[in-house]
């Protein structure tokens, strides 16, 4: 895993010295080697740069940029191709390989088979750029789940592409204008969804897609939207993989036992494939179902004790570390754990703008950074359980849909709103008692926090999409625009039979890449740690979409098929408990240790009034301080926006 940076055009401020300095600005993504290649083509000065984190083939022959054997193509590549050794069998026995690196395999595959066929063959996580010297075409591609990031900035002088925004920001670009639509989405979702970026004319390449830019035709200019970009002359944009819109379920001839064995086989093969490494490797172990299953299958096939890593919390209602220790002891792993104290959190918060490079407001970023920092002291690669919730129905909102929305949807909206209005007048303690009685399976973990979130959101539901949107968004009272994202039309176009399956599909396309995978990538790579996600192997993803819903959600339980597999390795009493998530007590800290800092971020930052009415923010703040309501989600998004703004040298 690494970081890439490239520039193509006629930028006056970009030369060899400034480009190298910008490249090194992000060398935490690849501290082992930094290099770039510079040349002139069709009146464009081209820079292709790479920061390397050595994982496979530690020799200098694995360094990048990497040219093909014929010298016709050059690649800069971030990620791993897990099946690259198998794919080398497509070449003759006398082909002269110069290294054992997956980078060389990838560039030779592209040269031999072309980009589309290569993308159909490879299995891995990746974001890369390939320059074709003969055709003067540059091609970009990103993996099917969006594990690896790729940003593209366009201007009248040229375009820049990179693994994060820190390096391009260092290049003193001609314009750096804030994208209001992106801020609206940040406030709504607590992350900025692809293809949007915090800056105008800058985009994230969507997952499972590739884009070719023919420099013989393409004209450099600022782009108003992603659609504006991909409709430009000289641009070819294409999705190379899509989740099935209509489920191709297993037939009656497949027994439950056969389906379970096949799912386990695919996960085990994915884990084995993703353990390809020339450096020490371990696993995150939260104590939940997904990470426990990954650790169990890793340990099953290991001749020595694998290393597992966990983070605990001072507040018991957030702390799963005792369960993780118990499971680690049962599996026989070499387990490491640390505690996310208030002091540790306060130390890491100032580094969030640099680590994430654009505003990001999922507060679990803090423990993710802390556990990544600890893991890096022992290994360079960790496997995680991310993706299991979206594929196998792990979130509580799916239970709400399965158990309660099917009933509530038939209650007329005015009556439903009146009911929740009355309930909202009770104290948090009373409300918690009522909703724990009404929704026992959907209110796990920190009850008081989830109760208020549930009250505020369920009162605004009008249809299936608004049910989903209300549970995944904030600041709903502002009716923030979803310009160019078309979430509702995408949701309505899904042909799954049930609302739960639609919600899972939407989460896979949006929440997973833009929140979960973004959080894990930025948090781990800030400490030069590579994370891999076995649940996101293509064959396992497609298997998950073929499963009947009952194998995922039934009788008030989630991820049923994964539970069935895990019981082979871990006694069910060790993992059968309410889902706790990976949160920290930020709501409480905003009333205590973080109160002064948060107030400063909210009310003394000049950017606040540009995006939201100050009186509305003050109302949310006062309600939170007086414990009238838990407005943490709304407040944290503004705090992180302002912290990021204050960290920038300039913006328009």
* Chain center to CA of 170: 24
Q: Judging by beta carbons within 10 Å of its beta carbon (0-12, 13-18, 19+), is residue 48 exposed, middle or buried? A: buried
Sign of CA dihedral 318, 324, 326, 327: positive
Q: What would the pLDDT profile of 388-405 be if each residue is shown by its tens digit? A: 999 999 998 898 887 777
User: Is residue 237 classed as helix, strand or coil in its secondary structure?
Assistant: strand
Helix axes 256-274, 289-300, angle to 10 degrees: 70
- For residue 228, the tally of other CB atoms under 10 A from its CB is 15
552 close to 559: Cβ distance less than 8 angstroms: yes
Own/partner contacts of 348-353, CB < 8 Å, gap of 24 or more, are 349/643, 351/526, 352/640, 352/643, 352/644, 353/643, 353/644, 353/647, 353/648
Tokens of 650: 């300039």
Strand order in the sheet with 281-284: 334-340, 307-313, 281-284, 381-383, 530-532
What does 104-165 look like in DSSP terms, one character per residue?
A: HHHHHHHHHH-HHHHHHH--EEEEEEEEETTTTEEEEEE-SS--S--EEEEETTEEEEESSS
pLDDT score of 432: 57
pLDDT score of 484: 42
379 close to 305: Cβ distance less than 8 angstroms: no
Angle at 637 between CA 634 and CA 643, to 5 degrees: 140
Q: What would the pLDDT profile of 412-471 be if each residue is shown by its tens digit? A: 777 766 766 666 665 555 655 665 555 555 455 554 555 555 555 566 677 888 888 888
Q: What would the pLDDT profile of 439-451 be if each residue is shown by its tens digit? A: 555 455 554 555 5
Q: What would the pLDDT profile of 48-88 be if each residue is shown by its tens digit? A: 999 998 888 888 888 899 999 999 999 999 999 999 999 99
Domains of the chain: 2-239 (3.60.20.10), 256-391+524-574 (3.40.50.620), 395-509 (no CATH), 586-647 (no CATH)
pLDDT score of 447: 47
Q: What would the pLDDT profile of 332-360 be if each residue is shown by its tens digit? A: 999 999 988 888 888 999 999 999 999 99
Non-local CB neighbours of 114 within 8 Å, separated by 6+ positions: none
Taking alpha carbons only, the member of 216, 154, 143, 218 closest to residue 513 is 143
Distance, in Å, from the CA atom of 135 to the CA atom of 234, rounded to the nearest integer, reads 12
Tell me how far CA of residue 374 lies from CA of 281, 566, 608, in angstroms: 13, 26, 35
Least confident of 69-83, 210-224, 613-627: 613-627
φ, ψ of residue 203 in degrees (nearest 5) = -140, 155
Tokens of 105: 């395999």
Tokens 């240790």 label which residue? 593
Instruction: Tell whether pTM > 0.75.
Output: yes
């Amino acid at each position: 895993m690494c970081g890439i940076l490239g520039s193509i055009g006629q930028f006056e401020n970009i030369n060899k010295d400034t480009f190298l300095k910008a490249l090194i600005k992000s060398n935490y993504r690849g501290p082992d080697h930094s290099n770039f290649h510079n040349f002139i083509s069709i009146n464009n000065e081209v820079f292709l740069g790479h920061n390397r984190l050595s994982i496979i083939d530690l020799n200098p022959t694995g360094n990048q940029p990497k040219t093909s054997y014929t010298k016709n193509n050059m690649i800069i590549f971030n990620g791993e191709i897990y099946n690259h050794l198998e794919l080398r069998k497509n070449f003759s026995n006398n082909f002269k390989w110069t290294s054992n690196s997956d980078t060389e395999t990838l560039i030779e595959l592209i040269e031999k088979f072309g980009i589309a066929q290569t993308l159909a063959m490879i299995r891995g996580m990746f974001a890369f750029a390939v320059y074709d010297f003969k055709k003067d075409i540059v091609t970009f591609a990103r993996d099917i789940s969006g594990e690896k990031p790729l940003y593209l900035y366009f201007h009248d002088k040229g375009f820049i592409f990179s693994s994060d925004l820190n390096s391009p920001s260092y290049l003193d670009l001609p314009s750096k204008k804030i994208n209001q639509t992106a801020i609206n989405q940040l406030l709504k979702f607590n992350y900025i969804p692809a293809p949007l970026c915090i800056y105008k004319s800058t985009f994230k390449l969507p997952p499972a897609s590739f884009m070719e830019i023919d420099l013989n035709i393409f004209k450099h200019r600022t782009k108003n939207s992603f659609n504006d970009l991909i409709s430009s002359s000289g641009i070819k944009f294409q999705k190379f993989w899509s989740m099935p819109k209509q489920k191709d379920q297993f037939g009656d001839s497949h027994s439950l036992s056969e389906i379970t064995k096949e799912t386990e086989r695919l996960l085990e093969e994915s884990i084995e494939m993703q353990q390809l490494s020339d450096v020490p490797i371990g696993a995150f172990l939260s104590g939940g179902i997904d990470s426990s299953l990954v650790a169990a299958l890793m340990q099953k096939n290991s001749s020595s004790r694998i290393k597992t890593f966990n983070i605990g919390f001072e507040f018991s209602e957030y702390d799963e570390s005792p369960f993780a220790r118990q499971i680690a002891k049962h599996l026989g792993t070499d387990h490491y754990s640390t505690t996310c104290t208030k002091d540790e959190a306060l130390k890491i918060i100032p580094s969030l703008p640099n680590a994430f490079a654009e505003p990001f407001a999922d507060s679990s970023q803090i423990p993710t950074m802390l556990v990544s920092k600890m893991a890096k002291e022992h290994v360079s690669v960790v496997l995680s359980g991310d993706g299991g919730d979206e594929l196998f129905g792990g979130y509580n909102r799916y239970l709400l849909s399965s158990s309660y929305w099917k009933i509530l949807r038939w209650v007329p909206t005015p009556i439903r709103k009146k009911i929740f209005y009355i309930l909202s007048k009770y104290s948090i303690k009373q409300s918690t008692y009522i909703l724990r009685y009404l929704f026992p399976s959907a209110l796990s973990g920190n009850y008081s926090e989830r109760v208020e979130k549930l009250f505020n959101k369920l009162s605004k539901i009008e249809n299936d999409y608004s049910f989903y949107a209300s549970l995944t968004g904030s600041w709903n009272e502002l009716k923030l625009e979803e310009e160019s994202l078309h979430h509702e039309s995408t949701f309505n176009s899904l042909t799954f039979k049930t609302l739960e399956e639609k919600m899972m599909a939407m989460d896979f396309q949006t929440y997973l890449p833009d929140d979960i995978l973004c959080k894990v990538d930025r948090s781990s790579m800030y400490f030069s740690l590579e994370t891999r996600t076995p649940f996101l192997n293509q064959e396992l993803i497609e298997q998950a979409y073929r499963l009947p819903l009952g194998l995922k959600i039934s009788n008030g339980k989630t991820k049923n098929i994964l539970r069935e597999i895990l019981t082979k390795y871990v006694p069910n009493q060790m993992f059968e408990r309410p889902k706790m998530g990976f949160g920290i007590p930020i709501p409480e800290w905003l009333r205590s240790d973080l109160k002064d800092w948060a107030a400063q971020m909210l009310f003394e930052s000049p950017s606040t009034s540009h995006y939201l009415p100050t009186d509305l923010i003050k109302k949310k703040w006062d309600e939170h301080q007086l414990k009238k309501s838990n407005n943490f989600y709304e407040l944290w998004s503004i705090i992180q926006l302002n912290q990021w703004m204050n960290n920038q040298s300039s913006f328009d």
